[in-house]
Chain A
Amino acid sequence: AQSVSQHNHHVILSEAASLELGCNYSYGGTVNLFWYVQYPGQHLQLLLKYFSGDPLVKGIKGFEAEFIKSKFSFNLRKPSVQWSDTAEYFCAVTLGGSYIPTFGRGTSLIVHP
């Protein structure tokens, strides 16, 4: 069965610092990749997704992610974080023929003002 690993469980940054959250998956076939964000007390919402084309995907709020097939990775980046980026971030993967995503455990990001 496929799995999704988010190696950073907790990340603490100061405002304006750069962010990179890791996501690795364990499937060698065609995949669709997603990053979701969950602000405190709210529901998960889509940040960005990749399913084909340019491996560098830009999402909302200045986030981007790069799909590196050879490394089975889809890391999330933001050059300069803000206090309002404090949230839980989830990576998710669907296989080419499946509609059911596998979610990672999530990374808790705290940004100090």
Chain B
Amino acid sequence: DAGVIQSPRHEVTEMGQEVTLRCKPISGHDYLFWYRQTMMRGLELLIYFNNNVPIDDSGMPEDRFSAKMPNASFSTLKIQPSEPRDSAVYFCASSFTGSNQPQHFGDGTRLSIL
């Protein structure tokens, strides 16, 4: 099992640029989550999908953020335009259905917006 795969691992870009983060969940998992981690706010849930359908995006900070899951093995989180306050580590996680099922996290993307 390859685990949850995220790319890129690090991204440094200038403000105003479009940023796309990618995630491949564990095969067979039907839930996919995007989190943002910062020192100030800790771990924040941005959005989650069930069977490729977005269920709750209330954690997305503003319209500059968007997420898609075109199929069961791929999801993207896009920020356009990016701002310095978007700098954080972004994690993708996936899980099976079930309230007792743990989440499996990817290695994260460390995003720095200059």
A residues whose Cβ falls under 8 Å from a Cβ of B: 32, 34, 36, 42-46, 49, 51, 90, 94-101, 103-106
Contact of A106 among B43, B91, B105 (CB under 8 A): B43
Tell me the complex Cα distance, A49–B101, Å. 9
Residue of chain A at shortest CB distance from B106: A43
Residue of chain B at shortest CB distance from A34: B102
Q: Are B98 and A42 in contact (CB under 8 A)?
A: no
Contact of A42 among B45, B93, B100, B107 (CB under 8 A): B107
Number of CB contacts from chain A to chain B under 8 A: 50
Q: Is B27 an interface residue, CB under 8 A from the partner? A: no
Q: Is B80 an interface residue, CB under 8 A from the partner? A: no
Contact of A90 among B43, B56, B100 (CB under 8 A): B43
Interface size class of B (residues with CB under 8 A): 20 to 34
Q: Is B97 an interface residue, CB under 8 A from the partner? A: yes
Q: Is B75 an interface residue, CB under 8 A from the partner? A: no
Q: Are B91 and A32 in contact (CB under 8 A)?
A: no
Residue of chain A at shortest CB distance from B96: A99
Query: In the complex, how many angstroms separate the beta carbon of A45 from the nearest chain B beta carbon?
Result: 7
Q: Are A99 and B99 in contact (CB under 8 A)?
A: yes
Tell me the complex Cα distance, A106–B40, Å. 12
Q: What residues of A have a CB within 8 angstroms of the CB of B104 in the complex?
A: 46
Residue in A42, A43, A51, A101 with the greatest tally of chain B CB atoms within 10 Å: A43
Q: Are B98 and A105 in contact (CB under 8 A)?
A: no
Contact of A103 among B4, B42, B95 (CB under 8 A): B42
Q: What residues of A have a CB within 8 angstroms of the CB of B102 in the complex?
A: 34, 36, 46, 49
In the complex, 27 of the A-B residue pairs with CB atoms within 8 angstroms, ordered by the A residue number, are A43-B105, A43-B107, A43-B108, A44-B43, A44-B91, A44-B93, A44-B103, A45-B105, A46-B104, A49-B100, A51-B100, A90-B43, A94-B99, A94-B100, A97-B99, A98-B99, A99-B97, A99-B98, A99-B99, A101-B103, A103-B42, A103-B43, A104-B42, A105-B42, A105-B43, A106-B42, A106-B43
